[in-house]
Amino acid sequence: MTLAFLLHFRAWKIAIELKDNRSAVRWIVLFGLGYRLLLLPSHPIQEIDIYRYMWDGIVTADGQNPYRFSPDDILHAEAHDCAADMEQLVRLRDSSDAVHTTLSRVHFSHLTTIYPPISQAVFAIAAAITPPRAYVESRRFVTKMFIVLFDVWAMFGLLALLQHFRKPPGWLICYAWSPLVLKEFANSGHLDSIAVASTIWAVVFWSRALRQNSATLLSAAAVLPGLAVGAKLSPVVAVPVIAVSVLRHFGIRQFIVSGVLVCVVSAVSLGPMLATRIEAAIVDSTAAPTPHVMSLSSVSDPPLPTDFKEVTSSTDTDVKLTERLPRVLVYSDDRDSLSESAAEQPRRATGEGLSTFMSSWKMNDFFFLIVNENVSPGSAAWFSVLPDDVKRRFIVPVAEWMNQSEAHAAFFVSRAVTAAIHMLITTWLAAAAWRADLRQLPGLVFLSLAWFWLLLPTLNPWYWIWAMPLLPFVRLRSWLLMSGCVTLYYSRFWLENTWGTRVIPGITYDGKTFFNFVVVWLEYVPLLIIICLEYYKRSRRRSRSSSGKVRTCSRTTVSVAKR
């Protein structure tokens, strides 16, 4: 991946020097399509999210509600002794070996699905056109094919945006040939391409509407963000920048009409998910108390699927290698831990996927990590500077108020702090959008998505692609390096499996802790320093240019006065 990124970066530097070469555009698109076709049938590397998509699609295509039961519920249900509303899903599970295998490979199987209805519709279409007796590999191929179709749609959306703003077509390489994009969509099959494509085309229609003063194009631009939110919730953070520009250029009436349209489309897109959550809340309020669900904040590593060897291995050599790797999972609850093998894990209660993800999930984070470790009592992180008594004085009342553990309270406080920071950044970007000219607006959308991602507690590498198509419109080119840096995330798997326990400057690290407390800093800090330095240099050049213009203007004024 590092070598591929270096070659990609070099290709980009060559390509942006091409001014308006249609032949070059054709070759960029052709090779972009070729790379995707090459990776489409490949086995997903270190990622198994696609099996959740496949199972959700099978359930939805059968006319069932994918939000009602967790995969674990269906996997362990007895065909002769299960609830009436679960019978059809159990029959679906047993309809073929491929379907049963797909279900058994779902990660976080005790949680209900977190994916919104628009994504579910795509999964369902992929499942519907797949023959019922198709092998798992065939089902995976068809699902990835739809993911790649949206990825290609996003690529052409970027091309349309480049042509609209008359930027060098070579900028298309930053997305079309990106190793990160190719790996996460064509290889791993992550669903984010659906929201990315909808977002980039929303920006295309929005930009054209502002330039042409067209209410029709603006309506199309308002529908697409609603659909994007129905595919993945993240695009909503770009709405403030877009809304401010609409208010400035179209006035209050069109601003209200567009806002209502976005809200209505978003509500309709999210309707099935919201309805299921409301129904579940009503049932929970009238039912007897149930045991507390173990949430992911208290699970340092979630359980692997039951047939993980078959998921990750395609040869006998790979199977033997996998068998040699340690298969121990560590659970931690308020800093106390216990170990158990995957085979010995007790079955956990079903949890609601989206709320668990929003309130507990941490992965590859940086700014959130710094805040969280500085408010979590008992933290051993080297960058935790607040004394434990200060932390407890603040966190214990929050934990008592929430009726949760200190770890949950610390997560909640960290979420609040990073959310407040993002609100300040969004306010600044919205104010900048009011003053900006049309060419600067896509760059402001990029910054809103980029900083939202940086402040999340879950910084999966493919989430960075939310902002990537708009990279050509941001002034600081060092942002391009992020797609290379985030691939350090995949060193986490190697560290967890082979690192063991080592002492580094007096501190004992296991592989996971070393990744969280050391590697993550190597992943983000050098790049953030480079971005700050580039911003400083650009500011210095801009100030010198402004002072030069002032001096020239002063000399001209004096000369005219003398005459």
Secondary structure (H, E, C), 223-264: HHHHHHHHHCCHHHHHHHHHHHHHHHHHCHHHHHHHHHHHHH
The residue to which tokens 């198994």 are assigned: 48
The answer to the question of residue 408 being in a domain is yes
Confidence of residue 322 (pLDDT cuts 50, 70, 90): very low
206 shares a domain with 186: no
Of 84-93, 234-243, 289-298, 462-471, give the lowest mean pLDDT range: 289-298
Picking from 74, 135, 65, 71, the residue whose alpha carbon sits closest to that of residue 107 is 71
176 shares a domain with 198: no
**Is the confidence at residue 57, as pLDDT, over 90?**
yes
The answer to the question of residue 210 being in a domain is yes
Confidence of residue 34 (pLDDT cuts 50, 70, 90): very high
- For 77-113, b where at least 16 C-beta lie within 10 A, e where not — what string? beeeeeeeebeebbebbeebebbbbbbbbbbbbbbbb
114 shares a domain with 49: yes
Q: Helix (H, G, I), strand (E, B), or coil: what is residue 165?
A: coil
Average pLDDT for 437-454: 93
258 shares a domain with 186: no
Confidence of residue 405 (pLDDT cuts 50, 70, 90): confident
Tens of pLDDT along 483-515? 999 999 999 989 988 888 887 777 788 888 899
182 shares a domain with 199: no
165 shares a domain with 234: no
Confidence of residue 132 (pLDDT cuts 50, 70, 90): confident
Domain endpoint, select from 190, 206, 241: 190
Domain endpoint, select from 190, 211, 230: 190
526 shares a domain with 382: yes
Number of separate domains in the chain = 3
Average pLDDT for 449-473: 94
Residue 317 is predicted with a pLDDT of: 34
59 shares a domain with 195: no
Average pLDDT for 182-198: 95
The answer to the question of residue 452 being in a domain is yes
232 shares a domain with 151: no
**What DSSP string runs through 332-396?**
EETTEEEEEEGGGPPPPPPB-HHHHHHHH--BS-SHHHHHHHTTSTT---TT--S-HHHHHHHHH
What percentage of residues in the chain have a pLDDT greater than 70?
A: 82
Domain range for 249 is 191-283
The answer to the question of residue 325 being in a domain is no
The answer to the question of residue 543 being in a domain is no
Give the residues across from 363 on adjacent strands.
458
**Is the confidence at residue 129, as pLDDT, over 90?**
yes
206 shares a domain with 161: no
**Cβ atoms of 54 and 113 closer than 8 Å:** no
**What DSSP string runs through 185-198?**
IIIT--THHHHHHH
Residue 303 is predicted with a pLDDT of: 44
Tens of pLDDT along 212-271? 988 889 988 999 988 898 888 888 899 999 999 999 999 999 999 999 999 999 898 888
Between CA 295 and CA 349 the distance in angstroms is 10
144 shares a domain with 21: yes
User: What radius of gyration, in Å, describes the C-alpha atoms of the chain?
Assistant: 25
Give Cα 489 to chain centroid, integer Å: 13
**Is the confidence at residue 382, as pLDDT, over 70?**
yes
Q: Helix (H, G, I), strand (E, B), or coil: what is residue 133?
A: coil
Residue 87 is predicted with a pLDDT of: 85
Domain endpoint, select from 253, 283, 313: 283
Which H or E element spans position 154? helix 136-164
Of 9-23, 364-378, 548-562, give the lowest mean pLDDT range: 548-562
The answer to the question of residue 542 being in a domain is no
The answer to the question of residue 354 being in a domain is no
The answer to the question of residue 326 being in a domain is no
Residue 77 is predicted with a pLDDT of: 83
197 shares a domain with 183: no
